[in-house]
Amino acid sequence: MTPGFGAAVRAAGELVVQPRMGFADPRAMRAGLLATRGARATTVGTITVDSYTRVGDLAAARLAAERGTPLNGYPIATADPVATAEMLAAAAFPVQVRHGSALPAPVFDAMARLGLAATEGGPVSYCLPYSRVPLSRAVPGWAECVRRLAGSAEDAHLETFGGCMLGQLCPPGLLVALSVLEALFFRSHGVRDVSLSLTQQTNREQDLEALHALRALAARFLPDTSWHVVLYAYMGVYPRTPSGARALLADAAELAVRGGAARLIVKTEAEAHRIPTTAENVAALELAAAAARAATPDPLPPPDTGLLAEATALVEAVLDLDADLGRALVRAFAAGVLDVPFCLHADNAGRARSHVDDDGWLRWSSVGSMPLDRGRAHRAPALSSSGLLAALSRVQRRYDEEESRVLGDRPSPAALGPA
């Protein structure tokens, strides 16, 4: 019997690596899952759904299939259920559905029909960045889906995307808080097995501190819940050179091990150019696994710069707003208690601002109305369009330039300077 998703990760004994993989054709999707399972790494599988399904336009997904129009993922809600079931039976290892839906009922319905019990997202993290759906609608929609998932499978697993939301320019204290709050939301609706996400950002030491803060808050707020931490390889502008992309992924794997993450979502050499092939995904999985096996966990926590206190203050402030966490989240954004920099959703206050300092640390320029010490905000010039572009491409430039200097050799962390 295939173990549940969360149980498989916890039992792995080493970093579990996972692709972002989705193909429209069941045969290609089956081949991708089998290749993932067969990689020289400890893996779990991914079915990433297509954009039509993500926004609930199932008619468009069906029409595309009828006309042979390429899709950018697997149309799980409209695909032949027999073919999908055969694909999953052949894979025979834990598989997670990844989607990006603010209103995910069609995805959850399809999962229930297929006996799938692992997915990801959240009422905030899959609403604010990707849709115009009001939070007041996304929250109850997600609550209903989570309750149904919890009631349908004892091994139901949900991963919060809150720790990755607009992560390129979002100070990690807020990402940690959002990840914990969405995990608590899942738990409040019956799911007892969760993962809390965080994305690799622009400074290695800050990333390590954030991972330790996330684990500390998970231990504090989820004592009766099975959980693990998942790290995403950098989600911003990716290096264009193959060697730069490999170096960034290897650093993500090392970071995951040092910071105590149990699972890593990888990226490939093709990330800056196109959707990767199955072979490119497998190469990334194996590279990340090798880098992880060469790394060791840090014996001591990193220096405390106040990140844990910041995340704690945000979590506690939201929990104080309402006994119902869904209502509390809606109220928190309405009042600016939670405020994501550069997020254009109508329900986001938009008063908080951030910047990347000279050492690559993500800092607050303004905390808006969030319940944070104003001393956390550092003076910085107003961010122009060119400044925003420079901040977003900082990691790409650094890895590509470093790799061009060493002619494709893998650099040491020391050679990269502050990460």
Domains and CATH numbers, the chain: 1-419 (3.20.20.240)
| Cβ atoms 337, 321 nearer than 8 A | yes
Residue 163 has pLDDT above 80, yes or no: yes
Distant-in-sequence, close-in-space partners of 52: CB < 8 Å, separation ≥ 6 = 58, 60, 61, 64, 71, 75
Cα distance between residue 385 and residue 401, in whole Å: 23
Please name the residue that has the structure tokens 């089998």.
Answer: 34
Cα distance between residue 330 and residue 35, in whole Å: 42
Cα distance between residue 198 and residue 324, in whole Å: 25
pLDDT tens-digit series, residues 83-104: 999 999 999 999 999 999 999 9
Give residue 413's pLDDT: 39
Residue 383 has pLDDT above 90, yes or no: no
Cα distance between residue 122 and residue 185, in whole Å: 9
Least reliable range by pLDDT among 67-76, 262-271, 342-351, 406-415: 406-415
Residue ranges of alpha helices (H) inside 13-134 are 26-38, 51-54, 58-67, 81-91, 105-114
Residue 2 has pLDDT above 80, yes or no: no
Quick one: average pLDDT of 308-334?
A: 98
Structure tokens at 365: 């320029």
Beta-strand pair 45-48/95-98:
parallel
Quick one: average pLDDT of 216-222?
A: 98
Give residue 419's pLDDT: 34
List 409's β-bridge partners, or say none.
Answer: none
| Mean pLDDT rounded to a whole number for the chain | 92
| Cβ atoms 111, 127 nearer than 8 A | no
Q: How confident is the model at residue 374 (pLDDT cuts 50, 70, 90)?
A: confident
Cα distance between residue 96 and residue 94, in whole Å: 7
The number of residues in the chain equals 419
Give residue 381's pLDDT: 66
Q: How confident is the model at residue 382 (pLDDT cuts 50, 70, 90)?
A: low
Quick one: average pLDDT of 105-126?
A: 96
Give residue 165's pLDDT: 87
Which percentage of the chain shows pLDDT scores above 70?
94
0.85 cut: is pTM over it?
A: yes
pLDDT tens-digit series, residues 248-288: 999 999 999 999 999 999 999 988 888 899 999 999 999 99
Number of C-beta neighbours around residue 411 at 10 A? 18
Structure tokens at 391: 């901040």
Q: How confident is the model at residue 415 (pLDDT cuts 50, 70, 90)?
A: very low
3-class DSSP state for residue 48? strand
Residue 412 has pLDDT above 50, yes or no: no
